[in-house]
Amino acid sequence: MSENDITRELVRQIEEMKNTIKRLEVDKAQFEAINIDSNPRILGASVNDYDIGNYDWILVNTTAPRNMSGLARGILGRRIIITNYGSTLTLLHQSALSVATNRISTITGANVPIASGYSAMLLYMDDTPFSAGYRWRILFPNN
């Protein structure tokens, strides 16, 4: 084997290793733990364009019945679980109180109440033809 052949083979192996590392980095995200905000956020008022931070699961404590019209930080494919402790939290369907891209879209077109001790999972997605563009779609409420 010539020196050039050895060099080509080493370069090929290095490229193969780089591709393997890239695949492992992508796969790693599937196995990371859910990022939970374990300190319940107290909602003393209804909220619009609510900032969920970088969490996958947030706990909210509603001090009285509250409304949530939208969530900030939507990225295509992002999921969020909202668990309510306290009074009823109502997720508002397509409320103009939030910026269009932060709005919540429900399957029925009706507002969705989340009772104390229950959760809802939402997915940020292209919600057309149900609405004009990207929205937080409620996948399931658990009440």
pLDDT at 26 over 60: no
Three-state DSSP class for 117?
A: coil
The pLDDT value given to residue 29: 54
pLDDT at 4 over 90: no
Please give the model's pTM, rounded to 2 decimal places: 0.75
Q: What is the band of 111 on the pLDDT scale with cuts at 50, 70, 90?
A: very high
The pLDDT value given to residue 17: 77
CA 37 to chain centre: 13
pLDDT tens for 57-103 read 999 999 999 999 999 999 988 999 999 999 999 999 999 999 999 99
Q: Which tokens belong to 65?
A: 């019945």
Cα(67)–Cα(74) distance, integer angstroms = 19
pLDDT at 28 over 80: no
The pLDDT value given to residue 141: 76
- Burial profile 4-42: b = 16 or more Cβ within 10 angstroms, e = fewer: eeeeeeeeeeeeeeeeeeeeeeeeeeeeeeeeeeeeebe
